[in-house]
Chains A and B, each alone.
Chain A
Amino acid sequence: MESVSVNAVRMRNITKTFGPVAANSKVNLDIKQGEILSLLGENGSGKTTLMNMLAGIYYPDDGQIFVGEREVSIPSPKDAFSLGIGMIHQHFKLVDVFTAAENITLGLPEKGKLDLKAVSAKIQEICDRYGFDVNPAQKIYDMSVSQKQTVEIVKVLYRGADILILDEPTAVLTPQETNRLFDVLRNMRADGKSIIIITHKLHEVMDISDRVAVLRKGEYIGEVKTGDTNPQKLTDMMVGRAVSLNIDRPAPKIRNRRLAVKDLNVVTAEGVHALKDVSFDVFGGEILGIAGISGSGQKELLEAIAGLQRTQADSHIIYYPPGPEEAIAGQHTPLESTNEELIGKTPRQIHNIGVSLAFVPEDRLGMGMVDNMGMVDNMMLKTYRVGKGPFVDRKPPKALAEKILTDLTVVTPGINTPVRRLSGGNVQKVLVGREIASNPTLLMTAYAVRGLDIHTSYTIYHLLNEQKAKGVAVMFVGEDLDVLLELCDRILVLCAGQVNGIVDARSITKEEVGLLMTNLQEKTTRDTKEVS
């Protein structure tokens, strides 16, 4: 790629403000023909905003965009397509009940009757050229996340895009799927397409891109050739100072059993067996990672423990309170002398028997918080009943909100600003902060660092390690295998709702976990795989 390359797109002095916040300020960016450019930056650094202006979703307040040699104005996504620019968004924009072919042709200004045969032929041609695999007649709701993403990419190529923007395409993929995606991207590069990829995963940046451009707080920091840099240098550029990239993993100190899950079975309202004969133990003082392709039963598992999921008969979740010698023993007031069955209890009842359970759900705003309330009102979500009388006392939650604001450096216009106006990372800090403030004995997190930048992610890892050191049992449902392998003590791998192995995170490899995620083993071999 050392030849004199032509600029496919030049962005000059692009400025975009939202209210008082400058999302982009005088950003310059060049994309060359036939290269893969990584756009890197922390949350809220303006990467997606910048790309949305190229895709016609936002309109810049100031600055110029050149495609080829010509200055252009891109007031809508349609105009972006006509310039050969296509974007694959983080959240797919597909019609569930339509087929792949229908989605791909949706909105195209073709006259007359839709010739599905011709469309399918053209889709096939694109697939063959770049190594995709799409069945044009398959409905979207029947597809895996990775297949949906493929449809999104084909949709853009079908419209003749030469410049492709991918916003965090690997966030939802397994390692194997990621590799397949990268192969396709390399084929497209060889074909002369320009590709911009937004990702937080530095090893992927190193793996796929030719050049890296870095944004920080809406400003363009600089660009480097991928060959001339390394993850540490890139992180320093992104954050603006030196940051350690090692995740701490102290050895567990006290290791008492906290939870015993036995023969847990969950059947969803649609009749799908979401969890099948799931049995495992959770220990205080360790982080138990839970790996699996998304939708393998992670959500149902955590919600069953939290009392939010209907379970089948003869499922058991037994809670073992911490012993009186433990630092976190605290306010536990057991009703029965020994241990407690959580199955069949509502979240309220679980709380009332003195189980201090903290839960950071996957859907942060739709389940963990009230999106149109501010930090203060969100702080009292689980504690508003405290105190006598019909009125709420907003003083303690206000103090807690202020503490979290300073301790975790939450960026918000005010503690009463609706939390939906906060960025994803700040929402997560508020949620994790609240859950940890409840002094849990069991802390469950689902995709705790999804969409968060490196800096915030490390803040979260640090908080989890602090809880682990206190003797809290931590369950960490994750998707990034590198993180799971570095942070957790043990990893439970779910595959199609079943426990497909519980492995020692210190000795297993990423590939082995990847295999366990996708290939369901025979029950007998699975048992021998378990380590305690």
Chain B
Amino acid sequence: MRISKRDSISAGKAWAIRGGALLLSLILCGLIIFAIVKLNPVKVYEAMFDGAFGTKRRAWVTIRDTMMLLCIGIGLAPAFKMKFWNVGAEGQILVGGIVTAGIMIKLGASMSTPVLLIVMAVASLAAGALWGIIPAVFKSSWGTNETLFTLMMNYIAIQLTSFCVALWENPYGSNTVGVINQKTHAGWFPSVLGQTYGLNVLLVMALAIGMFFYLRSSKQGYEIGVVGSSENTARYAGINVAKVTVRTMAISGAICGMAGFLAVAGSSHTISTSTAGGRGFTAIIVAWLAKFNTFVMILISLLLVFLEKGSIEIASRYQLNDFAAQMITGIILFFILGSEFFINYQVHVNRHKK
């Protein structure tokens, strides 16, 4: 048996491989479910679907979480396209969330909600940008490793969040911030078009469209592509690599910071160290699988959130252990990620006589 790299593959064939992988993973999960817990796999899948889309409220929660994940993915896309390994989205989300929560608490009573929302959005963008710029400046000035640096920045952000939670504790002694402005709803996202999470969808969709054209058609997007491919080529072309690096990380961090604004003002209305909840890492999968195409990211974010909601549902409905549900998610993800191998490579079987 030999493996060789494919030269190219038609889009149709690639999607057929991905679809096949999804189908295979469902079959394998079905077999495992049946073998271990003797449940009808079709029922289990139905329950998963129920968990994500069973009621109108559930469907909107799924959409809200999809938007959150998508927003972070969009933020990571320019950094990764520049081959700047930003694994600091968690921290960037948290600092965006902290300033949002802080403004809600301190200024919630002093201005109207539209003004408050704008102030919070700007502040969260700035905080995230700052968190992104710091490792970028260090990398372009002293050649530090951005993976370690952005990762460390996460821990600083987590500590900072703990500190703020203690500072804004409500009620006293609970060690949580509680729901901010529960009575006044000051700084909460208003419903748009009759939907509680309508504004989340509008904001993130606008970002998705904007980022798509920014990366594909703008001069700055082109610079990002050149720097990501080869810094030498960029210098040869007269591109200021340090400037592009810092600018791109400012954008990347700002969008992740805005995800923190969405999380706090647009959904949970509170802040805790688990506000980011690992989504800063999950979004790395979103960005890479979509090859930085923000429209493909929508599908992948939806799939990931669907799997998450579905597995929670089956775990509770069938009194399955949490891990059983996670196993199913794991198998499905494994197949989908694994299918990329068969898209990039071809397996030949030699029928060769000795």
Contact = CB atoms under 8 A, between A and B. Distances in A.
A361 B236 contact: yes
A348 B239 CA distance: 7
Contacts of B223: 384
Contact of B232 (A75, A348, A367, A390): A367
A373 B226 CA distance: 9
B183 interface: no
A49 B82 CA distance: 34
B84 to A, nearest CB: 16
Given A73-B352, A347-B237, A371 B229 contact: yes
A347 B238 CA distance: 5
A351 B238 CA distance: 9
B218 A391 contact: yes
Interface residues of A, number: 35
Interface string B7-43: 1100000000000000000000000000000000000
A390 B225 CA distance: 15
Contact of A368 (B8, B233, B238, B240): B233
A170 to B, nearest CB: 28
A324 to B, nearest CB: 27
A306 B236 contact: yes
B350 interface: yes
Contact of B233 (A75, A306, A381, A384): A381
B236 A368 contact: yes
Contacts of A18: 7
B220 A363 contact: no
B9 to A, nearest CB: 10
Interface string A79-91: 0000000000000
A370 B226 contact: yes
Contact of B220 (A351, A381, A390): A390
Interface in A380-424: 380-382, 384-385, 390-392, 413, 421
A49 to B, nearest CB: 13
Contacts of A347: 235-238
B222 A348 contact: no
Contacts of B7: 18-20, 421
Given A19-B6, A372-B229, 5 more contacts: A19-B8, A306-B236, A384-B223, A391-B217, A391-B219
Interface of A: 18-20, 59, 73, 75, 306, 308, 346-348, 351, 359, 361, 363, 365-373, 377, 380-382, 384-385, 390-392, 413, 421
27 contacts: A59-B2, A73-B352, A346-B240, A347-B237, A347-B238, A348-B238, A351-B238, A365-B230, A366-B233, A368-B233, A368-B236, A370-B226, A370-B229, A370-B230, A370-B233, A371-B230, A373-B229, A381-B236, A381-B237, A382-B237, A384-B219, A384-B222, A385-B219, A390-B220, A391-B218, A392-B218, A413-B8
